Amino acid sequence: MARKHHARKLPALKLRQALAFRMKRQHLLGKADDVVSSVRSSCGIQSQIPQQARIALWVRTRDLAPDDVDESLWRTRSLVKTWCMRATVHILPSASFYAYIQAVGPEVIRSEMRWVSRYGLSGHVVDKAVSAIFEALAGGPLTRNELGEKVARLAGDDLRQWVERRWGGLVKVAALRGLVCFGPDRGREVTFVRVKDWLPDANEPQTNTLSSQAFLLRSYLASYGPARISDFSYWSGISTTGARQALELLRDEIAQVTVDGEESLLLREDLCEAEEADFDEPVVNLLPSFDPYMLGHRQKSHLVDEANYKAIYRKAGWVSPVLLLNGRAAGVWEAERKGSRLAVSVKTFGPIRHEVLAAVEMQAESLAQFFGCKSVLTVKSDLGY
């Protein structure tokens, strides 16, 4: 738990102000004009489930069409898909690709290496496999199995299983080194490409890892502040030591504040905006599984009451879709396409007012239109009237 402040007067924010500030910065109070801005403002969109990532972008982007995401990923390449924070798959702005990878990659790779070493893979063997992966992709995109076959021919059949693993295997290590990223899907199969071929205009940063971590911390606080350094470490996968070193580089840019009496950090330039942040009327959002807003902080008490925590943060790291009301979880939901209809089932954690229910119905209708459905069936549970 964060320390209560007693010794000196710090700028004081209410939780409501902090939530409104974060939502505004992540385009949950007002949508962005384009998908790249939506990704940038959330410091990446978690994307191990592509449809959920699309919903996260629909929530944040004005007039988004499903094809807009593919357009930005595979044609204009203004977005890139790769492993990054917490060693999970993310969509990132291509312009910042190397800064993200340089900030997160080294420490996350060390964690991955500890895991593979338990199975007898040495650093030399991993380096050999990564070199083979890079060489195998010289001819363009390959599926996992195609890549595994080529690596087996180049470096030995015993490495094939480490390339074809669904959780990423040694392809993930190559990605976290900035060598490989996802290419366009081929049917139901993902493909991989070499970054230098896929993003030829992306420039590697002329900075060290610590400077890139400071860049990431600044970006994080601009979107998720007020926050603690332990929150940044949790969100990014960077060690607490590394996070604190990045903080020292930004010390003059960062202010200490309190949120309901608990100390947090905020960029000094954002203090006035945070103090003025508020909700003018009930704000309702349908957030998908693994939405970045729900993953930005180690402690979740500001997002959900303890009694409802396990309805959202479930076993095996699963994060449920959330009905968000003024920045806090008011329920969970799910959707299923049934022919030309999208059946949206919402279960609230308590009574909600009529105007909130009307806003939920509008959001469900908008989501159905995004997926090209003609009508929506909304099933409501535990609603108060």
pLDDT by residue (tens digit) across 159-201? Answer: 999 999 888 899 999 999 999 999 999 999 999 999 999 999 8
pLDDT by residue (tens digit) across 290-336? Answer: 999 999 999 999 999 999 999 999 999 999 999 999 999 999 999 99
Q: Which two tokens stand for residue 202?
A: 């992306």
Predicted local distance difference test score (pLDDT) of residue 381: 59
Percent of the chain with pLDDT over 90: 86
User: DSSP string covering 267-319, please?
Assistant: EGGGHHHHHH---SS--EEEE-TT-GGGGS-S--TTTS-GGGHHHHB-GGG-B
Instruction: Answer yes or no: is pLDDT of 96 > 70.
Output: yes
Query: Residue 348 and residue 76: Cα distance in Å, rounded?
Result: 40
What is the band of 225 on the pLDDT scale with cuts at 50, 70, 90? Answer: very high
Predicted local distance difference test score (pLDDT) of residue 383: 45
Its pTM surpasses 0.85: yes
What is the band of 4 on the pLDDT scale with cuts at 50, 70, 90? Answer: low
Query: Residue 173 and residue 97: Cα distance in Å, rounded?
Result: 16
Please, what is the Cα angle at 169 between 154 and 205, to 5 degrees? 90
One-letter amino acid at 32 equals A
What is the band of 254 on the pLDDT scale with cuts at 50, 70, 90? Answer: very high
pLDDT by residue (tens digit) across 270-292? Answer: 999 999 999 988 999 999 999 99
Q: How many residues make up the chain in this entry?
A: 385
Cβ distance 87 to 176 under 8 Å?
yes
pLDDT by residue (tens digit) across 116-173? Answer: 898 889 999 999 999 999 999 999 999 999 999 999 999 999 999 999 988 889 999 9
Instruction: Answer yes or no: is pLDDT of 1 > 70.
Output: no
Count other Cβ atoms within 10 Å, centred on residue 62.
13
The sign of the dihedral angle between the CA atoms of 53, 58, 59, 61 is positive
Residue-averaged pLDDT of the chain? 94
Predicted local distance difference test score (pLDDT) of residue 298: 98
Q: What is the mean pLDDT of residues 75-79?
A: 98
Predicted local distance difference test score (pLDDT) of residue 385: 33
What is the band of 66 on the pLDDT scale with cuts at 50, 70, 90? Answer: confident
Instruction: Answer yes or no: is pLDDT of 3 > 60.
Output: no
Predicted local distance difference test score (pLDDT) of residue 165: 87
CATH architecture of 304-381: 2-Layer Sandwich (3.30)
pLDDT by residue (tens digit) across 338-365? Answer: 899 999 999 999 998 989 999 999 999 9
Cβ distance 21 to 277 under 8 Å?
yes
Cβ distance 287 to 322 under 8 Å?
yes
Domain boundaries, the chain: 1-138+196-272, 304-381
Instruction: Answer yes or no: is pLDDT of 215 > 80.
Output: yes
Predicted local distance difference test score (pLDDT) of residue 2: 53
Q: Which two tokens stand for residue 189?
A: 């199969």
Kind of pairing between the strands at 284-287 and 89-93 = unpaired
